[in-house]
Amino acid sequence: MMEAGMAESVKSFTRENAIASFDHQPSDSAIAEEIQGLRSEISRLRALMSEKTGEVYERVADRASSAANYVSSEANSVAGTIKEHPAATTTLFTLIGAVGFAIGYAVASASAESKQAWYQRYLGDRF
């Protein structure tokens, strides 16, 4: 099967579609045609990339807008709750602060017990 494909490519080989080698220099018109073909390929790729970039930008913009609307609605909900229940909000924040203070105090006192002066490590048993 592979040999049949190779045979077809050998049959279709002509001097016009030959690849340039060291002993054969392509004509200026062949180079110009190749350059023109590459330029058209580059312009086609640029158009394709700009199209894809536009689609991606639109999707990201839609998602960002949706996220901003969600955050805004949640912030309005929290603000409304705080306005309706200021005493409960104050109590909640005070409780959160007290718990944070207790955790910080416990961590600080535990680390203070494990610390010792640098000289006690070396001189503690000698005096």
Mean pLDDT, the chain, integer: 79
The residue with greater pLDDT, 98 or 46, is: 98
Q: Give the pTM.
A: 0.40
The residue with greater pLDDT, 3 or 32, is: 32
According to DSSP, the residues that pair with 45 across neighbouring strands are: none
In the chain, helix, strand, coil percent, each to 5?
Answer: 80, 0, 20
